[in-house]
Structure 1
Amino acid sequence: MVCGVVLIAVIGIAYGGTFLLQVVGGGFAFTDFQKAFFRAGHAHAGVLVTLGLVVVLLLEAAGASGPWALLGYGVLASAILVPGGFFAAAGGHERTRPNRFVWLLWVGVAALVVGLVGAAVALIQVGVAGA
């Protein structure tokens, strides 16, 4: 179910790509800083949602369960928080540096690290139990 919802969310990432094309093409007046953060947000969204889906599929395929496996879903949370941090931090008229919402980016990075560690421990536990 989670993977199905995430795949629907990918439509939003694709739509964001059309916005990014308009930004880069000069359709909107943004600073170079904002364009760079929008690009980074879009790129991280695509990469992290793909990584998150792979992590969830690995956990499910291995039959991992418990708190460590649950933490693995943090990778999918990072797919929302990291890009959200980039976009939110660049918001505002003629912004040339991140605003106070840059904290979302750091929360997303923490979710990514916790998610990867959780998934790794859960997968190693399954492997050790099966050995």
Structure 2
Amino acid sequence: MLELSDPARVTAGIVLLTVVGIESGGFFLVRVFAGALGERVAATDLQKSFFRAGHAHAGVLVVLGLVCLLLAEATTLTGFLRWLAGTGVLCAAILLPAGFFFSAMGQGRTTPNRAVVLLPVGAVVLAAGVVTLGLGLLLS
């Protein structure tokens, strides 16, 4: 049986609760694309594609982040490297969707605003997390 450290257990519990937020994002997308269960939400093509990408990244990265959190428990990493290996992907699960959603906000927006800077930042954090975890697993 896998023994989780207290920080990993608490983090996993909190992250699992965020799935409800991702679900509500899915409901929002249904309103954008189909107008189901209420009035259709007006959105430009940019907004539709960015909202879809933000929702998809949130869901996938939360699942990958939980796996990384568990795998980090199997490494001998300590300190900042342990934190990065265990939670880097989860941080990217915040940064990347935020970049997609926030940069597309605003009525009639057809080009991203300055919040688009969160996308490359999130990509770097994602890469740093998975590389650190991969090396930590290989070297442990």
Same fold (TM over 0.5): yes
Gaps of 5+ in 2: 1-9
2:6 corresponds to: none
Give deviations 1:30-50, integer Å, cap 9, x for gaps: 101101100000000000111
What amino acid is aligned across from residue 54 of structure 1 in structure 2? V
18, 24, 28: which one aligns with 2:41 = 28
The answer for the alignment partner of 1:65 in structure 2 is 77
- Matching residue's letter, 2:17: I
Q: Which runs of no fewer than 5 residues in structure 1 stay unpaired?
A: 127-131
Matched, 1:2 2:8: no
Aligned to 2:102: 88
Q: How far apart are the structure 2 equivalents of 1:21 and 1:11? A: 15
For 1:43, the equivalent position in structure 2 comes to 56
**Matched-pair contact (CA < 8 Å) for 1:68–1:121:** no
Query: How far apart, in 1, do the equivalents of 2:71 and 2:112 lie?
Result: 35
Deviation at 1:94, TM superposition (A): 0.5
Instruction: Return structure 1 stretches of 4+ with deviation > 2 angstroms.
Output: none
Q: State the Cα deviation string for residues 79-116 of structure 1 (Å, max 9, x = none).
A: 00000000011011101111111001111111101111
Task: Give 2:65's aligned residue.
Answer: 52
- Deviation of 1:10 after TM superposition, in Å, equals 1.0
Q: In structure 2, how many angstroms separate the alpha carbons of the residues matched to 1:64 and 1:7?
A: 25
Which protein is richer in helix relative to its size? Answer: 1
**What percentage of aligned pairs have identical amino acids?**
52
Normalised to the residue count of structure 1, the TM-score between the two structures is 0.90
1:69 Cα deviation (Å)? 2.3
Is residue 15 from structure 1 mapped to residue 28 from structure 2 by the alignment? no
Instruction: Provide the aligned C-alpha RMSD in A.
Output: 1.1
Query: Normalised by the size of structure 2, how large is the TM-score?
Result: 0.85
Q: Is the 8 A contact 2:75 2:136 kept in 1?
A: no
Q: Secondary structure at the match of 1:30?
A: coil
Match of 1:101 in 2: 115
